[in-house]
């Protein structure tokens, strides 16, 4: 990517609850089967937080990223938590997480852009660091989607899981986070919904989302590569929102990046909304499946319908 003042991902961390819900478990709740779920979504298992809150998940992932970065909590000047499942409105999950991690005086706020939340937050943090507002930021995607699940709806309850992923982002002489390509299509705003104020439940028109994702997102991903001074063939990794394995494989195939490692964490984690990209990326980096320094495409998309994509340098 171009050599200019910017920011980079310095470290990652992730956390998932210990309770695993299998497709066979779901077959006891609704009229479904392991074969039906796998064929349509690619999902085999998902993690469920029985007692833990969104703040618990965010704190666990954020603490791991902070430790991996080797920074003192006082070094963090900005905390953003991307989430659409927070029950608490005030104080924000970000402020609660900062307090638990001992971060004394950071700007802290939540960001809700559904499944594109983490990549949107990452771009916002990059802009903040470029402007000199802080030197280090902690960006977290955390979701407890099980709180928003209608466990009687077999079309949606098979999709969702809980978890969190986090990144420490630091000011950097080079451009370790490429320019963002982001936007929304409000004409399709009814395709994904969390609208009941008293008891919100996840609803979506799966066919609409599938058609949109597989036909409209590739040019956005290509533009993110071009803005980073690359082509898709240069990519070492592709981490899209982990919504559906069929969508992930279709996007990877259309992009034409033969050397890229493609994240398929959806198979064991389900759709964790804003947490899915940092969760999947952190696992790939932890397992060293993507070489350090390799360019990685991040592509978030979801309710809105919204998107945010950028190329980052693998930490």
1 inside domain = no
pLDDT for 174 equals 81
C-alpha 200/C-alpha 170 separation (Å) is 36
Pick the last residue of a domain from 123, 143, 172: 172
Asked if residue 147 and residue 16 are part of one domain, the reply reads: yes
In this structure, the number of other CB atoms found within 10 A of the CB of residue 196 comes to: 10
Q: Which of 172, 241, 244, 314 is catalytic?
A: 241
Asked if residue 74 and residue 36 are part of one domain, the reply reads: yes
Asked if residue 187 and residue 281 are part of one domain, the reply reads: yes
188 inside domain = yes
pLDDT for 173 equals 84
C-alpha 61/C-alpha 53 separation (Å) is 13
35 inside domain = yes
Asked if residue 208 and residue 145 are part of one domain, the reply reads: no
244 inside domain = yes
Asked if residue 288 and residue 211 are part of one domain, the reply reads: yes
Range of the domain at 26: 6-172
226 catalytic? Reply is no
C-alpha 118/C-alpha 307 separation (Å) is 10
Asked if residue 233 and residue 84 are part of one domain, the reply reads: no
Asked if residue 96 and residue 65 are part of one domain, the reply reads: yes
Asked if residue 158 and residue 35 are part of one domain, the reply reads: yes
23 catalytic? Reply is no
Nearest to 4 by CA among 120, 178, 124: 178
Q: In this structure, are residues 115 and 172 in contact, taking their beta carbons and an 8 Å threshold?
A: no
- Domain total for the chain? 2
15 inside domain = yes
Asked if residue 278 and residue 295 are part of one domain, the reply reads: yes
pLDDT for 192 equals 80
Give 10-residue mean pLDDT values along the chain (315 residues): 75 97 95 94 97 97 98 97 91 98 97 97 97 96 95 92 98 91 90 70 83 95 98 97 96 94 98 98 97 97 94 97
Q: Which of 47, 172, 271, 314 is catalytic?
A: 271
Asked if residue 144 and residue 227 are part of one domain, the reply reads: no
pLDDT for 4 equals 60
Q: Which of 14, 23, 47, 115 is catalytic?
A: 115
115 catalytic? Reply is yes
Query: CATH number, domain at 251?
Result: 3.40.47.10
Asked if residue 166 and residue 22 are part of one domain, the reply reads: yes
pLDDT for 215 equals 94
80 inside domain = yes
pLDDT for 188 equals 85
Q: Which H or E run includes 218?
A: helix 218-227
pLDDT for 303 equals 86
pLDDT for 1 equals 47
Pick the last residue of a domain from 152, 172, 192: 172
C-alpha 68/C-alpha 76 separation (Å) is 14
Pick the last residue of a domain from 130, 147, 172: 172
108 inside domain = yes
C-alpha 273/C-alpha 284 separation (Å) is 18
| Environment class of 105 (CB within 10 Å of its CB; exposed 0-12, middle 13-18, buried 19+) | exposed
Asked if residue 215 and residue 239 are part of one domain, the reply reads: yes
């Amino acid at each position: 990517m171009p050599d200019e003042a910017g920011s980079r991902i310095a470290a990652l961390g992730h956390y998932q609850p210990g309770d695993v819900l299998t497709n066979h478990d779901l077959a006891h709740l609704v009229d479904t089967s392991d074969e039906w779920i796998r064929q349509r979504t690619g999902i085999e298992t998902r993690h469920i937080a029985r007692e833990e809150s969104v703040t618990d998940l965010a704190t666990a992932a954020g603490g791991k990223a902070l430790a991996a970065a080797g920074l003192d909590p006082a070094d963090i000047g900005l905390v953003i938590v991307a989430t659409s499942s927070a029950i608490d409105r005030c104080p924000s999950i970000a402020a609660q997480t900062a307090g638990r991690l001992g971060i004394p005086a950071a700007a802290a706020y939540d960001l809700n852009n559904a499944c594109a939340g983490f990549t949107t937050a990452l771009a916002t943090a990059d802009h903040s660091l470029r402007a000199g507002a802080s030197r280090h930021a902690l960006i977290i995607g955390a979701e407890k989607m099980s709180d928003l699940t209608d466990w009687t709806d077999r079309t949606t309850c098979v999709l969702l899981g809980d978890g969190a992923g986090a990144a420490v982002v630091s000011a950097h002489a080079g451009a370790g986070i490429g320019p963002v390509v982001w936007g929304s299509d409000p004409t399709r705003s009814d395709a994904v919904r969390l609208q009941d104020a008293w008891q919100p439940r996840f609803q979506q028109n799966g066919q609409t989302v599938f058609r949109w994702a597989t036909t409209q997102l590739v040019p956005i991903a290509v533009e993110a590569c071009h803005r980073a001074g690359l082509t898709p063939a240069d990519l070492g990794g592709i981490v899209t929102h982990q919504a559906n394995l069929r969508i992930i494989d279709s996007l990877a195939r259309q992009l034409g990046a033969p050397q890229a490692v493609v994240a398929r964490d959806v198979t064991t984690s389900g759709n964790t909304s804003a947490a899915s990209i940092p969760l999947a990326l952190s696992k790939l980096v932890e397992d060293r499946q993507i070489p350090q320094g390799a360019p990685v495409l991040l592509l978030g998309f979801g309710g809105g319908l919204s998107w945010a994509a950028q190329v980052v340098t693998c930490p």
